[in-house]
Amino acid sequence: MIAWSGASRTRPTGVPRGASPRGVGVRRTTVAVVTAVLVLAVAGPASAGPGEDVLRPGERLGPGQALLAPAGGDVLVVQPDGALGLYALDDQVRWSTGRGVPGATLTTDATGDVLLVAPDGAVLWSTATGGSGGTLRLRDDGDVVVEDPDGGVVWSSGTGRAPAVLDAPGRLDDGDLLSSPDGRHTLLVDGDGGVQLRGPDSSVRWAPGGADAAAQPTVALELRADGDLVARGADGGAVWRSRTAGRGAVTLVVQDDGDLVLLDDEDEPVWRAGTAIGPSTLDPGAVLGEGASLGSPSGHLGVSVTGGALVATWRGRPFWSSPAAAARTLQVSDDGDLLLLDGAGAPVWSTATGGRAGARLVLEETAVLLVAPRGEVLWQVAVPAELVAATPAPAVPPPTDCALVDAPVAEADVVRSRSGIRVHPCLAGSLDALVAAARADGVVLGGGGWRSSAQQVALRRAHCGPTDAEVFDVPASACSPSTARPGSSRHERGLAVDFTVGGRTVSAGSPAYAWLVEHAGAYGLRNLPSEPWHWSVDGR
């Protein structure tokens, strides 16, 4: 639908040096929009200018026309189906008005109300900001807002992203935060916990002072003009520092891989927190070298070639190792063998699983698995149960009664459980207990939980048909496979899990399905009979 060219650098570009961390765009990428689909130049005097980020009172956008964020990272477009959609660089829908009518137009009227209007004049959607004298604006942080003449926000889509960088001189105080561009990692100053870098499951992956952080509470993080990163206590004194003064550090960045990095003016690192999470898979033929690592989605489980051996770690501490044999690289061979190779490329250790072409190495939350294409586990190393049990619980909102969750929830309202599955907080504890109990019985479960409303709409288009009637109206049973109407899926509420074993969905008659049938009810999950893999709080 939208095509882009260009690439982002290690340091998100387009953020002016010295800018405040509040409200700064995450990145700028050179953008080329396929004009056959999106026509940014709008004809007529009462139109937004080509590539503009603002729709002023009296202006309009017609079908296929769009607003473009100043740094080019987001597009707000009137789609051919008449809906209004916000798209990011990865072509993912970040926000939408839902169903539309072909030929609809977007206007800001003289009173400041923003209206999506059908060809027959019917109002399909509105910001209900009449009387504000407002202007519709697409910001660099991805938020769509209506601003009054004084610059105050009278309506927001709620899609703003936190900045990923802090430029020197800059400071984060209580309530301030940075977030990686993909939103999975957050550096924040918490009133109770101080300065913390939190991972995808909200667990603390780094704090200034390390093990002494709790004994020396911090209230601010400051990047000084001399390049030193300093955590300050309540008395204003330095509790911790990076000791990078004079080394040219000018920017602090939270990267998509979870590492916190200080960069100089040439975007070269001068300090790292060392919290990077590697990819979770190693595909056939791919090589993992010394200094690189694989990581589970939360980052708790890691695998690397260290000291001539293959080493598995839990929260940074080794718990398993292959025999040390001067290994330099790890590779999944084309025939399915996991190999450690020396400097000359000769095998020095293997899992002896050859003969299963297409196998790949996968890190789930608590196990390293070598998985065949059809899902069979050829080899595995599991994290000892006592290490998992001793892991501090992620900092998550207090769970509510799942029965009170009666509508789709936003991404900010779900958590990644210890098992790596994203669900509503009310389900996280019982889900982790279920996964742990299954593992104790030899059944290693993974799965997918929460999905956004935009993802549900996309699934309905793929499974039910491309028209609005097929997406929003036909019953789930008319789709192949059966897919709930947008707004009614338990996945959208974070109350359902599609379970997998070895990367494949659970099937009827399998040991995993038999285990779930016998035990899942004790953990509050019920099966949808037509889908052996789908388990939710109410069987829907």
Q: For the chain, what is the mean pLDDT?
A: 82
Confidence of residue 330 (pLDDT cuts 50, 70, 90): very high
Q: What is the pLDDT of residues 109-150, one digit of tens each?
A: 999 999 999 999 999 889 899 999 999 999 988 889 999 999
**CATH number for region 165-272:** 2.90.10.10
Instruction: Give the Cβ contact number of residue 248 at 10 Å.
Output: 15
Look at residue 29 and tell me whether its pLDDT is greater than 80: no
User: What is the predicted pLDDT for the residue at 258?
Assistant: 92
In the chain, which segments carry CATH 3.30.1380.10? 387-536
Helices (H) and strands (E) in the chain, counts: 5, 43
Confidence of residue 212 (pLDDT cuts 50, 70, 90): low
Confidence of residue 37 (pLDDT cuts 50, 70, 90): very low
Lowest-confidence region among 259-273, 296-310, 489-503: 489-503
Q: Regarding the domain delimited by 281-365, which CATH topology (the fold level of the hierarchy) does it fall under? A: Agglutinin, subunit A (2.90.10)
Look at residue 32 and tell me whether its pLDDT is greater than 80: no
Confidence of residue 48 (pLDDT cuts 50, 70, 90): low
Alpha-carbon span 167 to 21, nearest angstrom: 8
CA atoms within 13 A on the CB side of 511: 10
**CATH number for region 54-156:** 2.90.10.10
Alpha-carbon span 520 to 430, nearest angstrom: 10
Do residues 313 and 319 touch, judged by C-beta distance below 8 A?
yes
Q: Where are the beta strands (DSSP E) in 428-495?
A: 446-448
CATH architecture under which domain 387-536 falls:
2-Layer Sandwich (3.30)
Look at residue 33 and tell me whether its pLDDT is greater than 70: no
Lowest-confidence region among 135-149, 184-198, 346-360, 501-515: 501-515
User: What is the predicted pLDDT for the residue at 398?
Assistant: 53
In the chain, which segments carry CATH 2.90.10.10? 54-156, 165-272, 281-365
Bigger pLDDT: 505 vs 8: 505
Bigger pLDDT: 282 vs 158: 282
Q: What is the pTM of this model?
A: 0.63
Cis peptide before 169 (omega within 30 of 0): yes
Look at residue 183 and tell me whether its pLDDT is greater than 80: no
